[in-house]
């Protein structure tokens, strides 16, 4: 879901920077208020762990494929939403700077899509309400079930929001010709599956932490009592089944309604280039006298007369010089490389 720079217009990128920076400002303010200096190394080590954990392949049973995790929900459950958000920002920054995953300008948008929803929406609207609720009854095993439920729901919901934002930002930037509806219909079901797997991984890790060191989890009231353990596997299996049914239903709903794509394929094809581009037809027309003159002049003078332009006109002529110019510039770039390489080799030899 990491967006590259190329997918954003500067204005959208700047807006997203402002949005993410405000959220970061609030987070920093809250952390300062809490005044827990020892939290910094915990945040650093945990985000480094989540970063490394993203490289692990988790085999999804019965499918042969594997899933990864993204970490927003897990970080906010372990560190709280504010520290979790800052940790996610740092993870995304390192990914962008050192691993070319997402762009420098798109960082604001990426923080919003992946960190804001995962940490704030995920924590305040899903994790905390569910953990404080009386779902699944009382006791430790019920608590475990609540962890599983909130991680799975949280991951699915936050990833859906994130994917929708990617679509929104790209469409607002005017980058893709893909109509909004079709783009949404493409992105949401894919991220439904990803969210489900991520939710399962997150819940597995959080349940493990809950079993061994429950005080590490945020918003969990410690309950004493050694009642009979409900089998972890059975809870995971039941919830996974529910999630798959719900998820499958939703994706069917999403894909049984592909009118955006149909509209794009069949309804939009005859829309003129000029109306899309805002060009006036006269200057672009093929019948203008200026174009004919240009053609005759071009045929006589150009040193590339073989370019047969059907209905050649002046704008096509400038396009060719653009192409030739671009090729020359590219050539210059290659020559610069060669010269640089030559000097480097000479320097190595003299050393």
Please, which of residues 105-134 interact with another protein by CB under 8 A?
105
* 104 is an interface residue for another protein by CB under 8 A: yes
Piece of 38-46, 126-134, 157-165, 219-227 that binds another protein (CB under 8 A): 38-46
Environment class of 69 (CB within 10 Å of its CB; exposed 0-12, middle 13-18, buried 19+): buried
Look up tokens 């079709």; give the residue.
182
Nearer to another protein, 21 or 252 (CB): 21
* 10 is an interface residue for another protein by CB under 8 A: yes
Cα–Cα nearest to 149, from 127, 176, 182: 127
Q: What are the two backbone dihedrals, phi and then psi, of residue 58, each rounded to the nearest 5 degrees? A: -105, 125
| 183, 170 Cβ separation under 8 angstroms | yes
- The vertex-47 CA angle with 187 and 145, nearest 5°, equals 70
Cα 75 to Cα 77: distance, rounded to the nearest angstrom: 5
* 316 is an interface residue for another protein by CB under 8 A: yes
Category of 139 on φ-ψ map: left (φ > 0), alpha (ψ -120 to 50) or beta: left
Please, which of residues 219-258 interact with another protein by CB under 8 A?
232-233
| 130, 150 Cβ separation under 8 angstroms | yes
Q: Which of 22, 34, 56, 293 binds another protein (CB under 8 A)?
A: 56
Nearer to another protein, 125 or 295 (CB): 295
The neighbour count for residue 114, using CB atoms within 10 Å, is 26
Nearer to another protein, 5 or 292 (CB): 5
Count of residues that interact with another protein, criterion CB under 8 A: 118
Nearer to another protein, 150 or 170 (CB): 170
* 42 is an interface residue for another protein by CB under 8 A: yes
Instruction: Supply the minimum distance, in Å, between the C-beta of residue 252 and another protein.
Output: 23
Piece of 115-123, 130-138, 246-254, 307-315 that binds another protein (CB under 8 A): 307-315
Q: Which of 228, 273, 287, 289 binds another protein (CB under 8 A)?
A: 273
* 96 is an interface residue for another protein by CB under 8 A: yes
Cα 174 to Cα 189: distance, rounded to the nearest angstrom: 23
Q: Which of 132, 231, 255, 276 binds another protein (CB under 8 A)?
A: 276
Handedness of CA 91, 61, 126, 2 (dihedral sign): positive
């Amino acid at each position: 879901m990491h967006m590259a720079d190329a997918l954003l217009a500067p204005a959208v990128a700047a807006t997203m920077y402002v949005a993410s920076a405000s959220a970061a400002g609030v987070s920093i303010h809250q952390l300062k208020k809490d005044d827990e200096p020892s939290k910094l190394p915990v945040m650093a080590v945990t985000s480094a762990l989540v970063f490394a954990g993203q490289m692990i392949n988790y085999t999804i049973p019965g499918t042969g494929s594997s899933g990864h995790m993204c970490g927003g929900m897990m970080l906010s459950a372990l560190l709280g939403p504010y520290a979790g958000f800052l940790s996610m920002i740092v993870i995304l920054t390192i990914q962008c700077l050192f691993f070319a995953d997402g762009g420098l300008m798109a960082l604001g948008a990426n923080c919003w899509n992946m960190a804001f929803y995962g940490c704030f929406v995920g924590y305040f609207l899903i994790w905390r309400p569910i953990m404080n609720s009386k779902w699944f009854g009382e006791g430790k095993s019920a608590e475990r079930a609540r962890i599983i439920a909130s991680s799975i729901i949280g991951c699915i919901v936050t990833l859906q929001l994130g994917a929708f934002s990617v679509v929104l930002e790209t469409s607002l930037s005017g980058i893709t010709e893909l109509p909004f509806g079709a783009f949404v219909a493409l992105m949401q079901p894919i991220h439904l599956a990803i969210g489900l797997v991520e939710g399962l991984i997150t819940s597995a890790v959080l349940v493990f932490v809950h079993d061994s060191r429950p005080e590490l989890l945020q918003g969990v009231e410690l309950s004493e009592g050694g009642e009979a353990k409900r089998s972890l596997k059975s809870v995971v299996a039941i919830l996974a089944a529910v999630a798959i049914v719900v998820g499958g239903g939703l994706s069917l709903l999403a894909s049984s309604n592909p009118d955006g794509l149909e509209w794009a394929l069949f309804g939009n094809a005859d829309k003129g280039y000029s109306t899309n581009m805002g060009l006036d037809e006269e200057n672009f027309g093929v019948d203008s006298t200026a174009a004919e003159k240009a053609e005759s002049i071009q045929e006589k003078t150009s040193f590339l007369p073989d370019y047969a332009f059907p209905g050649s006109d002046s704008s096509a002529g400038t396009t060719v010089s653009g192409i030739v110019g671009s090729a020359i510039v590219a050539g210059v770039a290659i020559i610069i490389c060669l010269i640089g390489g030559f000097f480097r080799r000479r320097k190595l030899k003299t050393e």
